Amino acid sequence: MMRTALLLGAALVMSACDGDPGPVERGANPNLPQPQSSLLPEMTIPRPVGWGNERPTVPQGYTIQAIATDLRVPRQTLVLPNGDILVAEGRGASAPALRVKDIIAGFIKGLGRSQVEGGNRLTLLRDADGDGSYEMRRVFAENLNAPYGLAMIGNVIYVANQDALVRFDYTDGQTEASGPPTTVAALPSAINHHWTKALTASTDGRFLYVGIGSNSNITERGMEAEVDRALVWQVDVQTGAHRPYATGLRNPTALAIHPASGELWAAVNERDEIGPNLVPDYLTSVREGGFYGWPYSYWGGNIDPRVRPQNPERVASAIQPDFALGAHVAALGLSFSTPAMGAQFAEGAFVGEHGSWNRRVPSGYKVIFVPFRDGRPAGEALDIVTGFLDNQGNARGRPVGVTVDPRGALIVADDLSNTVWRVAPAQPGAPPANRQ
């Protein structure tokens, strides 16, 4: 009780430390404020309340329904060729705390999480008659280790656990794995400050790309802890051999291949503790051999003075990301759209924003759409799936992975309410979308 009271007291003090955080900056040219420093950053987390009879809000002309509930921390999804959906369920281990503020942050973050134990499994959902209701639900594979990223090449399903990239052979229509997975490559898992391992496959099927987050906010554990961290690996599918494809990405939490260009894109979570409006998480193309700033700089050449020693040469080479999503939105999902999603969303990317924990006015807690033109972001981002926060600022849910079903639906994993949602263009006679 005493420890809880002290932590809550500290949280109240932190909530009073910072001023008005202002609006969340989004777009190709965000207005970045000056860094702020304080003994303890503001930490505010919306408390879970559940959906009750409510549903998320979607645009006019679209419907949303829960296609699976009572899951065990759903994170990412994969649509199989026959329309079945695989759901990765799990939660990784927490890194040891370094400072008192880390203990406080862990406590605050815990208030906004599902209390359900992670499933460490893949669950399969099937809509046999194509009516949008998934009447079959089976455990496809279990005894995994915090599975997160999912990809498919040919007749093989790949899963990025927190410690290894593994594979399952797959036959069309299969509802259960035929055996335990085969390891393709071990993944960095010591400390695991950022445990999630994002995953996608190259268009030609030769390579897998794995996003591996940093082992600290900003090198507090020393640079030796950051070996093979804050980067994207390219993994040879046949041999399991890997190499750094791009570096300086603090936490690349979602990866996707652009359907026209074949380019690799990432949603990246940036650093904390220099103010409520810094640093913006971002969506960016990922260039082979590219360096994206972490830890020495952010948003291109903006130097982070906390890093010692400095590295001006690396800062000079830092690539500025393509599109700012806003500070602390915690983007965890990325999927490119198809024309089947409707004319307004025919070209662009959906991004799932899990939501902030260190901002007085929360950011994120929604799914947005970033329109593209000629392979690049073009125009303002649109809020697509909202209502995850109620009018009192409590959290009904928190979106994670987003996946576009080529037949015309957006699949959204919600790891707070343990639900998978399906958003689709309304059919004649369908009920209207939930409106707040």
Are 35 and 303 a contacting pair, CB within 8 Å?
no
- Of all residues in the chain, the percent with pLDDT exceeding 90 is 85
Beta-sheet strands, E only, within 347-388:
348-353, 366-373, 376-377, 382-385
Nearest alpha carbon to residue 337 among 365, 373, 366, 364: 373
Which domains does the chain show, CATH number per domain?
2-19+33-425 (2.120.10.30)
How confident is the model over 324-342, as pLDDT tens digits? 999 999 999 999 999 999 9
SS3 379: coil
Q: Which two tokens stand for residue 113?
A: 């999480």
How confident is the model over 358-384, as pLDDT tens digits? 899 999 999 999 999 999 999 999 999
Q: Mean pLDDT by 10-residue block, N- to C-terminus, for the chain (436 residues)?
A: 40 43 89 85 87 97 98 98 98 87 84 94 96 96 98 98 98 97 98 98 98 97 97 98 98 98 98 95 98 98 96 98 98 98 97 95 97 97 98 97 97 98 82 48
The CA-based angle 155-160-162, given to 5 degrees, is 160
CB contact set of 323 (below 8 Å; sequence gap of 6+) = 26, 27, 28, 282, 283, 284, 370, 377, 381
- Of all residues in the chain, the percent with pLDDT exceeding 70 is 93
Are 31 and 23 a contacting pair, CB within 8 Å?
no
pTM across the whole model: 0.94
Nearest alpha carbon to residue 199 among 171, 228, 167, 227: 167
Report the pLDDT value the prediction gives residue 3, as an integer from 0 to 100: 42
